[in-house]
Every structure is written in structure tokens, then in C-alpha cells.
A and B are shown apart, each in its own frame.
Chain A
């Protein structure tokens, strides 16, 4: 029944070593989002895809990139992780225009640690 799936649940990387987080969805939603949530803080939107159109938030660092090869998958790439990038990364989907779907569906998140 999993609808938005994030792998892995926990990811450990080294300072400066590139890391990729993945998200897949079985909902066929056209919008996918990546949020960063640091400890005891609110989720912060990094960017989102509307179909293949990439939309970056103005304050998202260049260190963060994303790819969406098809409707089902979306990846978050951190090119050179710093200690400040340790956080929970949440993937979400939405499909505007369908009343029952007018909300965000979240995955379980990937907790990233940077050593």
C-alpha cells in the first residue's frame, strides 16, 4: 500500500562525498517535492517538479540538485555534503485538480547523517 517510497530510511555519508537520495511514487502524481527538515524545525521546500519542469526555491543552495527521469521517480543529489546538511529529507507528491488529491502525500523520509 506504500504510495510514496523513500530509500534508504537512513543514509550516512562523509563530508564532501556526493550522495543521492531516492523517491518513488505509485500515485501517478504529476508534482513531486523535496523538503529538508532539520531537527526540531519545520520542513523547508528545496524544489519541486511539475511533470518535467524543475522549480527551484530561491534560497536553495547550488549544492542541491534534483533529477526526475520519469513520472514515478525523483532523486535528490547533494554534490558536496557539509555538516549543516544533516537532516531529514522528505519527498512528497501532489496532483492538483483532483479534489480528493488536493493535499501533499509524504514519504517516510530519509535521515541523512554527515560524518
Chain B
């Protein structure tokens, strides 16, 4: 079984500053996906960024980037130039594809507050 650990229950950052959210996972699999999902107060789960484990290059998506350390089983999210709209719960998720479907395991989340 896979486990995902987010060690920071809550974080805050000043608007326009940079913040890094931590995530570690445990697995014996070699091929998998990692995700960061954002859940604002509206409760809609929105994909922020995705990383394929076989890719060494870290994924980036505008102001969002990851630091993927496969050997260390670490997958942190960096948010640059934080904006008020980034205030949300952030979930790290580990994904396996099995029998045509995604088996997704979520961490417990980090609540991020962006302060004006």
C-alpha cells in the first residue's frame, strides 16, 4: 500500500512571496504519477500540476513548480509570486494506473493562506 505524508497542516505566505509545500510518499512501485490538487473554499478539486515518475525533469506550470526527488520519495510544490487566489487546501496525491483506472492516494492536505 502507498502512503502520502504532508507534514505541514497549515502555512501562510505574504502576497507576492514564494512558498514551498512538502510532500513525501512511500511506495515499492517504480512507475507512478504524482499530483498536487488545490481545493479552494468552493471545495472544487483543481489539478495544479502533475509529474510522471519516469521523467527526471521537474514539472512546471506557470507560477507552480515541483521538486521531484525520486530516490528520496519527495515531491514538493513551490508557488512563486503568491496571489490571494492561491489561498486553499493543497493535497498531494500518489497515483497508480491499474486495470484501466487511477488508484489515487491523497495526503491529509496543507492549508495555505496568502496574506495581503
Contacts and interface: CB of A to CB of B under 8 A. Distances in A.
A34 interface: no
Interface residues of B, number: 22
Interface string A55-93: 100000000000000000000000000000000101010
Contacts, number: 59
A41 B45 contact: no
A55 B101 contact: yes
A50 B99 CA distance: 8
Contacts of B43: 88, 108-109, 111
Tell me the dominant secondary structure on chain B's binding face. Answer: strand
A92 B102 CA distance: 10
Interface string B22-36: 000000000001010
A28 interface: no
A90 B45 contact: yes
Interface stretch (B11-19, B68-76, B106-114): B106-114
B84 interface: no
Contacts of B97: 96, 102
A106 B37 CA distance: 10
